[in-house]
């Protein structure tokens, strides 16, 4: 069973960059949804194993991957936000980014465009029939 980690700071700790309301939604609704649905999916998989009925295994495995990774990614986000980090890459990292992407701006553009296409960036339909 997956359990929610406690938020390591107050809901308003990331303002003005991340509003209290936005963090509240991501922690109490979205992250909770990923954790709850990970557990529901694990229960369904346990039932499938018990009954030796794997008719929906492809969908359940996909859900476990989606919800589980959503929970883990939120935890990484919560744990890493609030830690002072440099706003520009180190010289060594900038050199590698320039080598690999042709420049920091090109790296940023690719990252931004790629983030718009990930599954969690929009509502999805899953085996559990829930949307969040």
CB of 100 to Fe ion, least distance (A): 28
Task: State the residue number with the nearest CB to Fe ion.
Answer: 26
At 45, phi and psi to the nearest 5? -70, -40
Instruction: Kindly state the DSSP code that residue 90 receives in the 8-state scheme.
Output: -
Closest alpha carbon to 128 in 34, 15, 51: 34
- How far apart are the C-alpha atoms of 25 and 31, rounded to whole Å? 8
- Scanning 27-35, 45-53, 96-104, 108-116 for contacts with Fe ion by CB under 5 A, the matching segment is 27-35
Near Fe ion by CB under 5 A: residue from 26, 32, 40, 62: 26
Q: Which two tokens stand for residue 109?
A: 């553009």
CB of 116 to Fe ion, least distance (A): 15
Q: Footprint of Fe ion on this chain (CB under 5 A)?
A: 26, 30
């Amino acid at each position: 069973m997956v359990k929610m980690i406690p938020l390591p700071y107050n809901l308003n700790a990331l303002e003005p960059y991340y509003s209290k309301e936005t963090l509240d939604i991501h922690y109490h609704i979205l992250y909770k949804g990923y954790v709850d649905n990970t557990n529901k999916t694990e229960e369904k998989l346990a039932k499938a194993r018990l009954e030796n009925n794997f008719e929906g295994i492809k969908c359940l495995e996909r859900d476990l991957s989606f919800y589980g990774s959503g929970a883990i990614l939120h935890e990484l986000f919560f744990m890493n936000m609030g830690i002072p980090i440099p706003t520009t890459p180190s010289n060594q990292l900038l050199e590698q980014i320039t080598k690999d992407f042709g420049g920091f701006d090109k790296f940023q553009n690719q990252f931004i465009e790629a983030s718009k296409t990930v599954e969690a960036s929009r509502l999805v339909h899953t085996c559990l029939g829930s949307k969040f």
